[in-house]
Amino acid sequence: MMKFTTLSAALALALGSLSVAAQQVHQASEKAVKLAQENILIDTHIDVPYRIHNEWDDVSKATDRGDFDYPRAIKGGLNTPFMSIYIPAHLEFEGKGKSYELANQLIDMMEALAYRAPDKFAIADSVTDVEKQFKDGLMSLAMGMENGSPIEGEIKNLHHFYERGVRYITLAHSQSNHISDSSYDIRRKWKGLSPFGKELVTEMNNIGMLIDVSHISDAAFYQVMELSKVPVIASHSSLRKYTPGFERNMDDDMLLALKKNGGVIQINFGSSFVTSSANSWYDRRDEAQDKAKEAGKDTTDFKAAYLKKNPFPFASLEQVLDHIDHVVKLIGIEHVGIGSDYDGVGDSLPVGLKDVASYPNLVQGLLDRGYSDADIKKILGENMLRVWRQAEAFAKAH
C-alpha cells in the first residue's frame, strides 16, 4: 500500500482524456473467465482491513465503495486474497505499542469477517488450508503484515503474529523502522537492515514466516538475499525498467537475485507503479501547488483544479502485461504473480483492472500474448503456493 490522494470526481474527466489505444481492454472470453474462476487465484496484497477499519463496510456483500467485496471477488475468480494488516509508518506508532495494538485489531476484524460469513470465508494459515477451502468453495482469507513495526523489537511478537495467522511481513513501509530502511525514506539509518532486522529474518525463516521485500531499500533487499535460506516474495511491487529512478520498484539485477533465491515478484497494478508518467504526475502536481503557495495564491481546491487541467495518466492493461512479460523473459514464468494493491492505491488503478472483478481481463491479455493455460495458472497462484510450501517445509525441518 502507498497512500495517494484520491483523484476525486474529476476521475471521469481524466478517463475521457485517455487515448483510444490506452482505453482498449481485452474482452474476457469464456475461457479466460473459467481460468480465473476454476483455479486457485492468489492476490498477495489487498488493503481491505485498513479500509474497513477507517470506515466500516460489510465486504461479505456488494459495496458501493472500495475495490473489494465478496460478489465482485467471486466474479473475478479471486479465492485467496492476502488481506494486508497495514500499519501506517507514523512516528506515533513506531515503538510505542500502538502498532502492536492496531495489528491485533485488524486481525480481529478479519477473523470476525470469516466468523460472520462462514459460508463465504475461512481464515487460511497454510497451503493445505487454501487447497481444502478452494475445494469446499470457500474464499481463503490469508494475512500478510505490511510494515514490521508491530514486532517492536521483540522476537516473541513475531511468534505471536504467526500464531494469529500472519504469513508474511513487509519489513518496512514508507519510513525506515527498527527493522529496515525504507525505499521511500532518504534517511538510511541502518544502511539496509538493522542488527535486529537481520536476527528477525533468520527467525522468520525458522518459523515459516515469508519475508516480503516490497518497500525496503535496495541495500536491505540484498542483505535479505544474503541471509534468507527460503525464497522471498515482493508482495506488491512492479518494475523499475518502466519507472526509472523509482526505488520502490525492482530493477533487473534485483530480479536476477530473486531468481537465484527462488522467490516471486507479485505485480502491483497501481498506475504509478506501472508507468513513469503516472509515477511523476503526483510530483508535478505537488510542485505546482508549492509554487502557487509561494505566489500567495489560495490553494484550498488546488488538487481538484489541477486534476481537471492535467488529467491523471492512467496505466493500461497492456502496460501491466508488459511488466509480467519482462519478468518472464528475464527470470522465468516461475517467478511472477499478482499483488494488485487493491484498496491501497486509491483511484489510480489501470483501465481494465479497476477492481477484483477484473482478473479475467488480465487472463485474457495473457492468452492474447500467447501464454499457455499452464503458465497462466502459475501466475494466478501456483508460483506463490510453491514459495509458501518451501517456507513451510524449511520451518518443519528446523
Q: Average pLDDT in the 84-111 region?
A: 89
Confidence band of 25 (pLDDT split at 50, 70, 90): low
* Grid cell at residue 45: 496484497
pLDDT of residue 82: 99
**pLDDT digit string, tens, across residues 301-327:** 999 999 999 999 999 999 999 999 999
* Grid cell at residue 354: 479497476
Q: What is the mean pLDDT of the chain?
A: 93
Whole-number Cα distances in Å, 371 to 31, 37, 43: 13, 17, 19
> Phi/psi of residue 20, each to 5°?
-60, -40
* Grid cell at residue 375: 503458465
What global pTM score does this model have?
0.93
pLDDT of residue 335: 99
DSSP 54-89: HS---TTS--SSSS--HHHHHHHT--EEEEEEE---
Q: Is the pLDDT at 357 greater than 80, yes or no?
A: yes
Q: Is the pLDDT at 3 greater than 50, yes or no?
A: no
User: What is the percent of the chain where pLDDT is above 70?
Assistant: 92
Whole-number Cα distances in Å, 158 to 19, 98, 211: 48, 16, 12
pLDDT of residue 278: 97
Please enumerate in sequence order all residues whose Cβ is within 8 A of that of 282, keeping only pairs 6 or more positions apart, or say none: 4, 5, 272
- Taken in order of first residue, the domains within the chain and their CATH numbers are 20-275+313-397 (3.20.20.140)
**pLDDT digit string, tens, across residues 144-192:** 999 999 999 999 999 999 999 999 999 999 999 999 999 999 999 999 9
Q: Is the Cα torsion angle 44, 46, 47, 49 positive or negative in sign?
A: negative
Q: Rounded to an integer, what distance in angstroms lies between the CA atom of residue 346 and that of residue 36?
A: 24
